[in-house]
Amino acid sequence: MKTLWITYSWEDNKNGDIEYIAQELEKKEVSVKLDRWNIQAGKRLWEQIDRFISNPKECNAWAIIATQNSLGSEPCKEEVAYALDRALNSRGQSFPLIGIFPSSVDKGLIPSAIKTRLYVSLKDGDWIERIKSALEDRAPNIPRPIFEPYTIEIRKTNDGRNAIELRPRAGTWAPFICAVPLNEKDKLKPSILSGPKGNIPMGGFLTMTGEGESEDKKWWFMFAGNEATPTMSYFLFCNELPSQIVFGVNGGQPQFLISMK
C-alpha cells in the first residue's frame, strides 16, 4: 500500500474536512499520514516534515491542502515553496507533489512546483483516482464519457417560445425530419427552421418541405431538404416542450427518438 503524506493548515480541519479526505483515500487502499501545520507557532514547515519526506520508507508522495489558509499570506507561500524545493532536492524531481484544492484558490498563490505537477480539485468526482494514480506512477483509470452522435440544446426565443437546436456531431442529416407526438401538436404549434449552430434563426428558406401525420397516427412530422451538419443546425420551435421528439434523416438512418420530460 502506498503512503501519502498530507500537510494542511489546522484551520482547514475544524469541521473534520481533512480527516474526511484521508478517510476516503484509505477506503481505496491509500495509507494517509496527516500533518497539521500551524505557521503561527513559528516552526519551519520543512523542519517539521523533513524526516518523513526525506525517507522513502515513510511516504511515497507529499500532498498539501491548498487553501487561502495555507497559501493566503506571503510567509505561508514562501514557507511552502521552500519545503517543496527541499522535498524535490531530497527525493528527486520525479517525487510526486500533489496540490489538493477543496475550492477555488487564486492561481497566483499556487507554488510553481505544484503548478507544473499535479493539482486536484475536490470538485472533480475522480479526485481519489487522480491522487492514487500519481502515487502508483500510472495514468488515471477514468472512463471517458459516452457522447451521443447528436447534440440537443433547448433555447428560448425573444417571445418566450422554445427553440430546440438539433445537429449531428459528425456527418449530415439530409433530407431532415423532425416529429412530435400527434396528440400534442395543437398545443405545441411546432415548426422548423435551419441556421448556423448556436444562433436561433429569425427566418430562412427551406427546400423540399412538407408536414403531416405518420401512418400510425402517432406523430406529426416536418421535413426539409436542407442539410443538418456539425455547423448547421435545425431548430424545432414550439410553445411547450414536447414529451418526445424524433429527428434525423427522412426516410433513412440515423433517426433518434428521445424523451424531453
The DSSP-derived string for 169-222 is: SSS-B-SEEEEEEGGGHHHH--EEEEEETTS--S----SS-EEEE-TTSSEEEE
* Strand bridging mode 162-168 / 150-156: antiparallel
pLDDT recorded at residue 46: 66
Report the range of poorest mean pLDDT among 44-58, 189-203, 227-241. 44-58
What is the rounded distance in angstroms from the CA atom of residue 199 to the CA atom of residue 195?
7
Q: What is the pLDDT of residues 149-180, one digit of tens each?
A: 999 999 999 999 999 999 999 999 999 999 99
The architecture (CATH level 2) of 150-259 comes to: Sandwich (2.60)
In which residue ranges of the chain is CATH 3.40.50.10140 found? 2-135
pLDDT recorded at residue 90: 84
What is the rounded distance in angstroms from the CA atom of residue 63 to the CA atom of residue 92?
16
Phi, psi of 200 (to 5 degrees): -65, 120
**2-135: CATH, from 3.40.50.150, 3.30.460.10, 3.40.50.300, 3.40.50.10140:** 3.40.50.10140
In which residue ranges of the chain is CATH 2.60.40 found? 150-259
Q: Up-side HSE of residue 214: CA atoms within 13 Å toward CB? A: 17
Q: Up-side HSE of residue 144: CA atoms within 13 Å toward CB? A: 3
Residue type, 99: G
What is the rounded distance in angstroms from the CA atom of residue 194 to the CA atom of residue 181?
21
Task: Taking residues 9-34, report their average pLDDT.
Answer: 92
Q: What is the pLDDT of residues 201-256, one digit of tens each?
A: 998 899 999 999 999 999 999 999 999 999 999 999 999 999 999 999 999 999 99
What is the rounded distance in angstroms from the CA atom of residue 126 to the CA atom of residue 180?
39
Q: How confident is the model at residue 41 (pLDDT cuts 50, 70, 90)?
A: very low
**Rg of the chain taking only CA atoms, in angstroms:** 28
Question: C-alpha cell of 110?
Answer: 499556487
CA 5 to centroid of chain Cα atoms: 27
Q: What is the pLDDT of residues 72-98, one digit of tens each?
A: 766 667 777 777 888 888 888 888 888
Using alpha carbons only, what angle is made at residue 55 by residues 50 and 59, rounded to the nearest 5 degrees?
Answer: 95
Say what percent of the chain tops pLDDT 70. 89
pLDDT recorded at residue 71: 75
Q: 67 or 43, which is more confident? A: 67
